[in-house]
Amino acid sequence: MISLLGISKEELKDIVLNEFYEKSCRVTQILKWLYEKKEFEIDKFTDLPKKFRETLQQKFKIFTLDLVSKEKSNIDGTTKYSFKTYDGYNFSAVYIPKLSRNVVCLSTQIGCSIKCIFCNSGRVDFVRNLDCCEITEQLLRIAKDVGKIDSVLFMGMGEPLLNYENLIKSIKIFLYPEGLSMSKRKITVSTVGVVPNIYKLAEENLGIKLAISLHSYDDNKRKKFVKNLKFSIKDILEAGIFYAKRTKTKLTIEYVLIKDENDKEEDVLGLIRLLKKLSKDISIFKINIIPYNFIEGIEFFSPTEERINNFKKILINNGFLAFIRKPHGSDIKAACGQIGF
């Protein structure tokens, strides 16, 4: 059986009109039950004819994932949801409550082929891409549990741009009015830099935000952190700058700060020189400094608070918009870089 959560509005319309011979208004009704009312039992779609509901139940299901566990942080209320797929694999999504907005961090793959050495997901062998329905279900299950979700981050397990088709399909479901009707500026895709698909994403004209997981200005040093990626830093940033200009958004630079590895003054000055060389308008950049979050078995450490603050201060003094990202859910292994099996 097919999940309704993996079907686009256009696909659903084709099925309703040409397979079930129903009126086109049925499409909007179904979508509203799923995404606005968050009702996940087809028999309760009460404004649909009973016979049509029975037909839908014979062809479609809604959920494909089992919720294995739900862990809530005692520090900040961050909640990690662990799911199991139909074929027996586990992955997680994270809910981050904030004062101004509720945020969900979604996974796009089971395992990760990039193998960033500071990331727990990189220690999990790549199995497969998550289907559109599995991506969408993460968000809906959490929204049903906690209420309205304001922002979506594709920053969980996996490299989103290596699951391009399912990523785009799920984003469109999040955006269209009959779906979740989210703001395009409240959706961010994080990538280590799959250059062709950054340009492809720009051509989609979705207007969502892009974050580049960078961590160094130097290719040789970055290769130590990001193992399985063939693109140079220059090529990645040029693609990111193109995306930002094309979509009129800021390009977020994510920089995991690791003690004695990439946290020195020479590192931040090298980053500044590179960004200024590639773009005369540095206002298009937003730099998120992410102090390394502890992962058992990895011999990395977070820098001192003084060094973290100095890194930020140098960026700001050179005209850049820079922030230090506070860890969320570190006590339940839900902070940036900690999500694994």
Catalytic residue positions?
Answer: 336
CA 23/CA 12 separation, integer angstroms: 12
Contacts 24+ apart (CB under 8 A), 198-203: 198/161, 198/236, 198/239, 198/240, 198/242, 198/243, 199/239, 199/242, 199/243, 200/164, 201/161, 201/164, 201/168, 201/243, 202/242, 202/243, 202/246, 202/247
Contact 290, 255 (CB under 8 A): yes
Three-state DSSP at 282 gives helix
Burial profile 170-185: b = 16 or more Cβ within 10 angstroms, e = fewer: bbbbbbbebbbebeee
CA distance readout (Å), 117 to 215, 217, 231, 312, 326: 12, 17, 17, 23, 21
CA 99/CA 224 separation, integer angstroms: 37
Contact 109, 176 (CB under 8 A): no
Q: Is 25 exposed, middle or buried (0-12, 13-18, 19+ CB in 10 A)?
A: exposed
Three-state DSSP at 221 gives helix
Residue among 291, 253, 259 at smallest CA distance from 272: 253
Look up residue 263 and give its two tokens. Answer: 């946290």
